[in-house]
Amino acid sequence: MRFYGTEIASPLLLGTAQYPSPAILQAAIEASGTEVVTVSLRRETADGSGAGFFDVLRQTGCRLLPNTAGCHSAQEAVTTARMARDLFDTDWIKLEVIGHSDTLQPDVFALVEAARVLLEDGFKVFPYTTDDLVVGEKLLDAGCEVLMPWGAPIGSGQGLRNPDALRSMRAHFPEVPLVVDAGIGRPSDATQAMERGMDAILLNTAVAKAGDPVGMARAMALAVEAGRAGFRADPMDRRAMAVPSTPILGLAELA
């Protein structure tokens, strides 16, 4: 798996918010085996306060993926991304432009606009988007090399609300890295996403708010690996009727 030319081995990306303590966060990152962690600019301020949290993340050796969480306009997202680049010294940015306060659904129009501006400014944009194929096309046309469709609303833990749409995205964008971002609540959700051909999963709340965040981080890592292996093994199609595993031909006939 490559993101903008950078090879990433682990198919699990981990958020860093809402953990009970920095020590538990660090242990969960280690248990997950992730190589990429997301961080909000709101964890750090322009004057450098909050550097202790940044130090914890640097100690993990993971690559930082700053995000524009909480932004509700293209201009706000672009400004936040530029501040994050200066603070975290990376041109990677997870682009979020929220359009609905209850569902936290992306404003796809502002998302495409902001992505175009940031890509022209030298950023490598990871857009948090819906599972709409047209929006995906627009983001790719703007220059994005990865898409991050939601599985369900952020923090809801609902799993995959529209698995068929994710399957369609995989078929429509066969060469584009697809990362399910938001909505994963249980390891089985992560497995299902990977079985549908997704390249990676990005999650936060499911681990941070678990009774045992470290144990859940490990469980998610195993689930993602199982789903990826299952997809590569080319699973059988679902059938409407039963099919005997033992052929009838050749069975003994008892009078």
148-192 pLDDT tens trace: 999 998 888 898 999 999 999 999 999 999 999 999 999 999 999
User: Given its phi and psi angles, is residue 48 left (phi above 0), alpha (psi -120 to 50 degrees) or beta?
Assistant: left
Tens digits of per-residue pLDDT, 221-238? Answer: 999 999 999 999 988 888
Q: Are 193 and 165 in contact (CB under 8 A)?
A: no
Q: Are 95 and 128 in contact (CB under 8 A)?
A: yes
pLDDT at 235: 83
- The more confidently predicted of residues 250 and 84 is 84
Residue 49 binned pLDDT confidence (cut-offs 50, 70, 90)? low
Would you tell me how many other CB atoms lie within 10 Å of the CB of residue 173?
Answer: 16
Alpha helices (H) along 89-212: 108-120, 133-142, 163-172, 187-195, 205-208
Q: Are 56 and 22 in contact (CB under 8 A)?
A: yes
Tens digits of per-residue pLDDT, 20-35? Answer: 998 999 999 999 999 9
Looking at the domain that runs over 2-233, which CATH code has it been given?
A: 3.20.20.70
Distance CA 180, CA 36 (A): 14
Among this protein's residues, is 94 annotated catalytic?
yes
pLDDT at 160: 93
Strands 148-149 and 36-40: unpaired
pLDDT at 251 over 70: no
Distance CA 30, CA 207 (A): 13
Strands 6-7 and 2-3: antiparallel
Q: Are 164 and 136 in contact (CB under 8 A)?
A: no
Candidates 94, 124, 138, 209; catalytic one: 94
Q: Are 163 and 183 in contact (CB under 8 A)?
A: no
Distance CA 152, CA 158 (A): 6
pLDDT at 43 over 70: no
Tell me the average pLDDT of the chain.
Answer: 90
pLDDT at 99 over 90: no
Tens digits of per-residue pLDDT, 126-154? Answer: 999 999 999 999 999 999 999 999 999 88
Residue ranges for the known binding site for 1-deoxy-D-xylulose 5-phosphate are 155, 182-183, 204-205
Residue ranges for the known binding site are 155, 182-183, 204-205
pLDDT at 9: 92
